[in-house]
Amino acid sequence: MVDFSLTEEQRDLREMAHDFAAKEIRPVAWEYDKHGTWPAAIIQKAWEVGLMNSQVPEAYGGAGACALDGCLIAEELAWGCAGIATTLEANGLASAPLLLGGSEKLKKEYLGRLIEAPLLASFCLTEPDAGSDVSGMRTTAVRHGDKWVINGSKVFITNGGYANWYTVYAKTDKDAGHRGISAFVVPADAGVIVEGHEDKMGLRASNTATIRFDDCEIPADHLLGEENHGFKLAMMTLDRTRPGVAAMATGIPRAALELAIDYAKQRVQFGVPIAMHEAIQFMIADMATGVEAARLLTWKSAVLLDQGRPNTLASSHAKRFAADTAMQVTTDAVQIYGGYGFIKEYPVEKLMRDAKIMQLYEGTSQIQRLVIARETLLPRRVEEPAAA
């Protein structure tokens, strides 16, 4: 049976996230975008009301929300502002490899930190010469007695300048390609160096930093999972987090669609509101279909995850389609606003700038197509629990 209805708790959660986005995020979003303001006060409030770290299991002090719950929150936050939403959501990306591969001791310590205080954690995978090609990374981790010593640089690290701890991928066997990568938890006070804050086209209220490790020493037990199994941990992490990105990439075009509808109803040309013109109606119709389809693909990818079933293909479908929809719909919203859409005083140009990153981070739209093509042409054989 297929049932698209949410439970009462999920509807309440979505309403709570929407109220938060409407009252705490929207009123400052355009101002924060203009000045690239770090949303410290919003992080504090979102953490207090439980809109951060929602998927940390109860065993580690979290709310134990499911992936679909996480997507409901992410869509609403990104409807408010995708930059602030990315800031609030990024702990989930850093936490996923810890949940998948961390010892009980590590999970209690580092997830506990996020629950006890409004702290941030960052996921460090990308390097100057290793973006889509993860196995091209050059950061190394070398075992010295009861420590790992990490050296190298990571770029485009969300919340990197403010993180309390990092999940870091490094080569532990330089000659073994993707089979020579391991993952670690690195506390900021282990000597992590923050080098720069990027001045970005969009998502301007989020922090994107370069992180350097110069003989950074961490205890041996901060390895996540098995040595040299980090690549798979990264891929499994992205399977789990791409639905949340797809949800944010649904919230942005939803905001653009709503604004375009309001504008089309009040802007008069040729004696009638432009919403009366078929050319605009057809654009609005396509925009609405895009948002609806993006949400359905997103929910499917999250529900498969919640059912413990493989979601690699579904999460790439969702992330690819929602990101491309965000770009198309925000571009169309600018078109409906006409010349005013190109002016910063009007709201839609920010949405178009914010949408672009959705096609880039957590795997470009081209990488999603690569995954979709591989999974479609040659599905990996994974043991699936029987469908309910």
Return residues touching ligand CAA (CB under 6 A): 123, 125-126, 132, 134-135, 156, 158, 178-179, 231-232, 235-236, 238-239, 312, 361-363, 367, 370-371, 380
Check 24, 76, 349, 362 and give the catalytic one: 362
Q: Which two tokens stand for residue 26?
A: 């929207």
Catalytic site residue 127?
no
Beta strands 165-171; 121-124: pairing state: parallel
Could you tell me which of 285, 262, 272, 278 has the C-alpha nearest to residue 337? 262
CB neighbourhood size of 221 (10 A): 12
- The answer to whether residues 74 and 85 touch, using CB atoms and an 8 Å cutoff, is yes
Output the CA angle 237-78-65, nearest 5 degrees.
Answer: 50
Q: Tell me how far, at minimum, the Cβ of 280 lies from ligand CAA, in Å.
A: 35
C-alpha–C-alpha distance, residues 215 and 190, integer Å:
10
Tokens read off for 197: 């804050």
In sequence order, what DSSP letters do the residues of 95-113 get, joined into one string?
A: HHHHHHH--HHHHHHHHHH
Strand partners, 77: none
In the complex, what is the shortest distance from the CB of residue 64 to ligand CAA, in angstroms, rounded to a whole number? 23
Instruction: Pull the structure tokens for residue 138.
Output: 């050059």
Complex with ligand CAA: residue 119 or 287, whichever CB lies closer: 119
Q: How far is the CB of 180 from ligand CAA (least distance, A)?
A: 11
Tell me how far, at minimum, the Cβ of 190 lies from ligand CAA, in Å: 20
- Using left for φ > 0, alpha for ψ between -120 and 50, and beta otherwise, residue 171 falls in beta
Minimum Å gap between C-beta 353 and ligand CAA is 17
Q: Burial of 174 by CB count in 10 Å (0-12 exposed, 13-18 middle, 19+ buried)?
A: exposed
Residues annotated as part of the active site: 362
